[in-house]
Amino acid sequence: LSELEALMERMKRLQEDKEDEEASQEEMDTRFEKEKKESLLVISGGICAFPALFSFDDEIVSTDVSRYIEDPGFGYKDFARRGEDHLPTFRAQDYTWENHGFSLVNRLYSDIGHLLDEKFRMVYNLTYNTMATHEDVDTTTLRRALFNYVHCMYGIRYDDYDYGEVNQLLERSLKVYIKTVTCYPERTTKRMYDSYWRQFKHSEKVHVNLLLMEARMQAELLYALRAITRHLT
């Protein structure tokens, strides 16, 4: 099967499995912890965890960006150290954008919550209902996997989501691309962009980028707004 056909087959199988039998809570807990730990290994300090797929040594952007920022050392750091047995988890049901963050940010800056919410929803729901040459395809499962994987990298967990879907729908090269774009955007290369979903249209892959950026922004807001809420209370 081609990459596209294999992905569509996995999406179909996931839907059928979901209708036949729901995973237990214990299984879902285990799948999230596994995905969270593996996300720490995807890229660390610019070194690819899958060297057979990529090597950053010859493609890392050489442009010095430090002159554009006040703190050159400021950048993404994994939310936990590799090798730790108990990694911190931000449980989404305890502090969600819809139920908590939205109202707080509106209090802090009038109407900005509505604008942010509209932006999040627009990008998340954006779809042509296509996958490359296939039309009338429900891409909800795939879009949710992309969004939730970004949040998983930031230690955010949704108890009602089966993270086994992430592992089945997002191949290794795509996970490397996702973490690079989300956490180390200056290291993103065209070679990495071309390496995944080769049969997809550019507009579909650009939508992936938009989805990753909005997921990252929402994750950062959740941490910041939760800290403000704790301070206020």
Provide the pLDDT for residue 85. 67
Provide the pLDDT for residue 65. 64
Query: How many domains, the chain?
Result: 1
Q: How far apart, in whole angstroms, are the C-alpha atoms of residue 85 and residue 117? A: 35
Mean pLDDT to the nearest integer, 81-97:
82
Provide the pLDDT for residue 80. 66
pLDDT digits (tens, 9 = 90+) for 52-85: 333 333 334 445 666 677 776 677 777 666 666 6
| Residues sharing a CB contact under 8 Å with residue 209, sequence separation 6 or more, in sequence order | 181
Give CA 75 to chain center in angstroms. 17
Provide the pLDDT for residue 218. 97
* Position 98 in a domain: yes
Using the predicted structure, report yes or no on whether residue 50 has a pLDDT greater than 50.
Answer: no
Using the predicted structure, report yes or no on whether residue 221 has a pLDDT greater than 50.
Answer: yes
* Position 175 in a domain: yes
* Position 40 in a domain: yes
Using the 8-state DSSP alphabet, how is residue 156 labeled?
Answer: E
* Position 35 in a domain: yes
Q: Please give the model's pTM, rounded to 2 decimal places.
A: 0.85
Using the predicted structure, report yes or no on whether residue 43 has a pLDDT greater than 80.
Answer: no
Provide the pLDDT for residue 70. 75
Range of the domain at 36: 3-55+68-232
DSSP per position, 58-109? TTS-----GGGSS-TT-----SS-TT-SS---EEGGGS-IIIIIHHHHHHHS
* Position 77 in a domain: yes
* Position 63 in a domain: no
* 3-state SS, residue 17: helix
Provide the pLDDT for residue 45. 37
pLDDT digits (tens, 9 = 90+) for 173-211: 899 999 999 998 888 889 999 989 999 999 999 999 999
